[in-house]
Amino acid sequence: MGSMLFSPYRLRGLELPNRIMVGPMGQYSARDGCLGAWHLMHLGSMAISGAGLVVIEATAVNPEGRLSPRDPGLWNDEQEAALAPILAFCREFGGARIGMQITHSGRKGSVSVAWEHQRVIPVEQGGWVPRAPSPIPYPRRTPPLVLDEDGMDGLVRDFVATTRRADRLGIELLEIHSAHGYLLHNFLSPLTNQRGDAYGGSRENRMRFPLAVFDAVRSAWPAHKPLGVRISAVDWVDGGWSLDDSLAYAAALKARGCDYVTASSGGAVPEQKIAAAPGYQVPFAEAIRRATGICTVAVGLITEPRQAEDILAGGRADLVGLARRMLYDPRWPWHAAVELGEEFFYPKQYERAHPSMQSGDFLRPSRAA
């Protein structure tokens, strides 16, 4: 019997050739929100990696929605045009389906790139004022501007406009970022949402804006294309967003036509105590899957083929997401396939690297000959 990892999986009208997702990974290498040469190499190599799905990094729906000035965006024509050749490469040469994560950074925005330690960039030095549900700054960052209903309506429109651009580009799957302490997570978590209106207070109220964004994006995104949501399943802080909250959120998302939930965690506040260990977030994916029946993606320190296979075979998740491991070893899916006795996708140009072609002389021109 074949492995689960290399079995196909259907999300609405999209057939994934296998269960390996390359998680979204910010590269801090965009200019004016436009992807460029680095992304062609990075996403191109992920597209030919043998993974079933590659999700393009968190892409902002407006300028203030970026985390750093080097984050990508998809709010103007120039950004849309810059993505086109990268997607064309992935389509022509890759085996993976291509999705995109769309985001607003909320109260964490206006910082330097990761390798410059995400230090605050003040407005006077070219930064911007972050947006948030409540006037509670992330420590050592610019105090946010509190969103009023007009601001929230504008944001919903920005999410919709980005969704339309993504569709026009032929992106096949969309993921809304509602994790890691960014805007939608700011609304969900009681640690960062202390509003007194219909968008704060009870869990139902705190979920209202993220669900409104979901509904608007779902309506603008074609019915045959899958839409998922990345959540922080817990805040890792007493009194913060909890797994129970996530079960309620996932159930509400499912009822609205959400196709999958990726169970990440943390990011709301620096006091979090994250118990990171191999597969440490898998129990969240499992609990959400069992309680709601929604397709879940397990992510976080999944590094070994057998580990990934066991997660799927044990019914703990439907897909596995890999991030850092794929940067370290972009051929991980090939190696996993060999270990699990499966065939795998490779571009014709690299055919002679296939294990069946690596022994003996190099003069045989192709596998079929």
Ligand X SMILES: Cc1cc2nc3c(=O)[nH]c(=O)nc-3n(C[C@H](O)[C@H](O)[C@H](O)COP(=O)(O)O)c2cc1C
| Catalytic residue positions, numbered | 182
Lay out the site mask for ligand X across 69-108 (x = CB under 6 A, - = otherwise): --------------------------------x-------
Angle of CA points 50, 9, 223, to nearest 5° = 115
Q: Which is nearer to ligand X, 60 or 207 (CB)?
A: 60
Residue 41 near ligand X by CB under 6 A = no
Residue type, 176: I
Point out which span in 13-21, 166-174, 237-245, 320-328 binds ligand X (CB under 6 A).
Answer: 320-328
Of residues 105 through 164, those in contact with ligand X by CB under 6 A are: none
- Binding residue (CB under 6 A) for ligand X from 48, 58, 169, 217: 58
Residue 18, both tokens: 């296998």
Residues belonging to the chain: 369
Alpha-carbon distance values, 291 to 49, 68, 245, 253 (Å): 33, 36, 12, 13
- Beta pairing class for 14-16 and 9-11: antiparallel
Residue pair 231/246 in contact by the 8 Å Cβ criterion: yes
The residue within the footprint of ligand X, chosen from 107, 177, 289, 316 (CB under 6 A), is 177
Is the CB of 180 or the CB of 331 nearer to ligand X?
Answer: 180
Q: Contact with ligand X (CB under 6 A): which of 17, 26, 99, 266?
A: 26
Bridge partners of 204, per DSSP, are: none
| Given 11, 20, 21, 25, the residue binding ligand X (CB under 6 A) | 25
Interface segment toward ligand X; rule CB under 6 A; list 18-26, 42-50, 210-218, 219-227: 18-26
CB burial readout 41-80, b (16+ within 10 A) else e: ebbbbbbbbbbbbbbbbbbbbbbbbbbbbbbbbbbbeebb
Q: Which of helix, strand or coil describes residue 60?
A: strand
Residue 296 found at the interface with ligand X (CB under 6 A): no
Q: Which is nearer to ligand X, 7 or 29 (CB)?
A: 29
Interface with ligand X, residue 230, by CB under 6 A: yes
Q: Is there binding between residue 272 and ligand X (CB under 6 A)?
A: no
Among 147, 299, 317, 337, binds ligand X (CB under 6 A): 299
Helix, strand, coil percentages for the chain (3-state, nearest 5): 40, 15, 45
**Which run of H or E residues covers position 355?**
none
Among 213, 322, 336, 337, binds ligand X (CB under 6 A): 322
Told to check if 325 binds ligand X by CB under 6 A, we report yes
Tell me: does residue 301 bind ligand X (CB under 6 A): yes
Q: Measuring CA to CA, how many Å separate 90 from each of 34, 40, 95, 303, 311?
A: 17, 9, 8, 24, 28
* Closest distance of CB 303 from ligand X, Å: 7
Residues that bind ligand X (CB under 6 A): 23-26, 57-58, 101, 177, 179-180, 230, 264, 299-302, 322-325
